[in-house]
Amino acid sequence: MPKPKSPEQFIASSPAGEKLLGMFHHNLGDGALRIARIITHEQSAHRSDGTHNEHSHNVHQPTHRALGNHEAKVAEALESGYCGITHPDARFVQEEIADLLIKKQAVPEAYFALQERITRKRGQGEVVLGLEEKQRLVDTVQADQADSLTQWSTYLRSDENEHVYPDWFKVYVWESLKTMGEYDKAKGEFKKRTGSTTASWPELNAEALAQVYDAIDQGVIRGEREVDDQLALLLGRGDFAALYAAALADSAYNETKQEVYQATTGSWTKYERIASQHSPNYTNDGGEYTNESREDDAYDKTVENTRRLTDMERRVYAGEELTTEDLEFLWLNERIEGFGLDVDPRASQLLEGRDYVADFDRIAEMIGYDELYWTVVEGDEGRVWNMSKNYFVDRIDRLSDESRDDLIKTMEYDKYLDNIKTAMRARHLYQQGVEVITILDRRFVCQYPYPYRVVDDGNAIADRLIAAGADAEYTNGVLKVIRNDPIGYHSEPKAPERILDQRDFDNWLQYMTNTVGELPCDDATRQRIMHDVVQSDLEYMERDIFLDNLSTLAHINNDNHQMTRCLLATFPAWWLKYSGRVDQLAAGGLDRSTVEEYISALQDDIE
């Protein structure tokens, strides 16, 4: 059981005490600023003579030792009026909130990159955020952070709540809160907040906050309550983040089990949930509070995961083989979380040393290659896909047309497929419908051993393609054109060059016209090569440059009908469906009949 302490002694020994000492030295240390007593809010605190003015409890109080130097300074800081959370003027705390928000220059580029990836995953196309878009995101982050802090400050300062806390506890919570980041439910702890943290402040859970106060008040300040070793350790540290995290975990457990803890030795005291606008995830159902948040499902899922992994572990240790259903669960399930852990380590331990190719073959025999493919593609943010993508390239002939087409499209933009294996599979991939240009784009292979060097294996790949039935003049022509193409990924394995202005476009156009025109093949083959390379390059053109040169692109290979279809495919369907697009595009140089046919087909698809 912790030794009884006054509020000043408790706070002085906590992380929040360091901040209050800093406040003392900054505002009071030189004597220039005098103590500003809060007249409207009488401070409930223990004085150095050992008395306690707690007005809400008329009970015997333990005698505390005299305040030390640091503790006296904490007491003076608490009573000074410089703590915004207890100042009668709400503008003080509002200014604190404004100062705590993330600064525009501190928002990391990784945050903007994440928003771009999210946009792409939603199927909204390739997006590069400009200054205005970034500013809007910063404004949103700051607004969310301000809202989360305002909920806490409003609740702590209000005298209308069912549970009104003494000022020392308000200051302790508020100063502690400033350094708290997101709550990691799996680990049961709060992340540390830095100047570049974009997440909002932790959600206010009124019940958990009441449990923290009860534990401190009864277990430390009054010394009336016996606590177990774990809670005693938390109280001894005085870390609000750890105490609040423990109370949150306890609250979630109780809500899920729909049980009410009794105030027994070594446990938290269960408080009735405080009805408040700041606890939106809970409702009152016939006098019993039920948790309607995601925690219910998460808890049930964690229980099931734990039970299943324990059973697998027992069978493996007994010398039994994992079933195909076990392998499906381990390989294809989303992150398998356990209590108090980010990811249950037993999942990876059970898979350690296994041949995923053999396991995937077993799973595919049970659920089918298409089901396996889409489960992996749509799974846990590419966790399994990044490891197994080449598995599906090897088995592309076992996929349905829809799955195969999706894999082929993936090959066109996923530059991280194993190029060595792709080069060796050239014949097989071509026979399964993968375009010659897509395969030739993967001609850069890394030669081992160290020192590694990247070599162009294009000639060998072209020979394999021709042996598989590809047209020799077309294949060799494509290889020659893309080897020196000034944009895209074609010419070398690095970040793609883009067409950003008219000068870039003119240089690219001159290169394409001269290089394709000099190829030793017939006109039909030249047109086909021009079409395929241009189609591959279009994604690297800025949209305004693309539109300014629409007529040139439409006639670049002397087949206006073919290029019109190629160019139409780059426009989003919603844009093409607006009235007047046929006239607009035809005026831009596209073939009118082809545009009408293409847009009509889009309308038919909707109907």
- Contact yes or no for 206/155 (Cβ under 8 A): yes
Q: Check residue 288 and give its pLDDT.
A: 35
* CA angle in degrees (0–180, nearest 5) for 366-402-538: 140
Report how far residue 371's alpha carbon sits from residue 363's, in angstroms, rounded to the nearest whole number.
10
Report how far residue 144's alpha carbon sits from residue 418's, in angstroms, rounded to the nearest whole number.
42
Q: Check residue 510 and give its pLDDT.
A: 93
- Contact yes or no for 410/389 (Cβ under 8 A): yes
- Contact yes or no for 70/159 (Cβ under 8 A): no
52 φ/ψ angles, rounded to the nearest 5 degrees:
-140, 125
| Residue 242 CA neighbour count, 13 Å, CB half | 14
Residues of the chain short of pLDDT 50, as ranges, are 24-67, 122-124, 253-295, 340-341, 381, 416, 606-607
Tokens of 175: 């100063």
- Contact yes or no for 271/210 (Cβ under 8 A): yes
Q: What one-character DSSP code corresponds to residue 282?
A: E
Report how far residue 432's alpha carbon sits from residue 426's, in angstroms, rounded to the nearest whole number.
10
283 φ/ψ angles, rounded to the nearest 5 degrees:
-130, 155
pTM: predicted TM-score of the whole model, two decimal places: 0.43
Tokens of 435: 């375009």
Q: Check residue 605 and give its pLDDT.
A: 53
Report how far residue 298's alpha carbon sits from residue 416's, in angstroms, rounded to the nearest whole number.
34
- Contact yes or no for 236/303 (Cβ under 8 A): no
